[in-house]
Amino acid sequence: MKKVVKTLAVAGLVSVMAAALLAGGSASAARRRGLVASIDDASGSPIATVRMTRTDDGKVLVKARGSGLAAGFHGFHVHSVALCDPAATDSGGATVPFFSAGGHYNPDTTKTHGAHAGDMPPLLVTADGRTMLRFKTDRFKISDLMDTDGSAIILHAGPDNLAHIPATTATGGERYHSHVDDIFGADTATKATGDAGARTGCGVLERVSS
């Protein structure tokens, strides 16, 4: 009889432990839920993958990996529309790959480039064409990016200056002049895009469970 009771007790303990492990696994999976974007170039070839997950401190962890890219820095942003059309046209009718993804994700329209919610650190690609980046941001939540028109990740051809073009020196002397807007400092285009150049890759952000 004692042996039977002991066996039942052990079985009960195993069941409790199994349930706890399952519950922990479910909680862990819930924490890992996030977004993924498979980035393709204009020809449809995959060049990078970006994953976003919510962390325990409420921030968003962003991880990016890529290969077959041109060496150097590349602008890297969240854009406001989940549409990656390599044959998209701009307002003038010219073909501009991935123009369909809209501008940088920027719910606060008073912010200019460098402070857009969708601005991310530029990707540094090594001589072998590979890149890897990992950072946290508190500028957006996962749910923010999954609004009615979704969001996309854009990779640019050139480096991103984050609109860091001061108009004056510390002593007040003028340093940078825009011939486009005839002003000193960052001009309209720089404040919108950081002069990162053409959109060479695009990936729609989609929900994933792990």
Run of H or E including 5: helix 2-32
Q: What is the mean pLDDT of residues 82-86?
A: 98
Tens of pLDDT, residue by residue over 55-65, are: 999 999 999 99
Per-residue pLDDT band at 27 (split at 50, 70, 90)? very low
pLDDT at 30 (0 to 100):
43
Tens of pLDDT, residue by residue over 141-184, are: 999 999 999 999 999 999 999 998 888 887 878 888 889 899 89
Asked whether the predicted pLDDT for residue 50 surpasses 80, the reply is: yes
Per-residue pLDDT band at 8 (split at 50, 70, 90)? very low
Instruction: State both tokens at 210.
Output: 């792990």
Largest Cα span, the chain: 94
CATH 3.90.1150.10 corresponds to the domain 34-160+195-208: no
DSSP secondary structure of 130-158: -EEEEEEE-S--HHHHSSTT--EEEEESS
pLDDT at 210 (0 to 100):
56
How far apart are the C-alpha atoms of 144 and 117, rounded to whole Å? Answer: 10
pLDDT at 136 (0 to 100):
97
Sorted by where each begins, the domain ranges of the chain are 1-32, 34-160+195-208
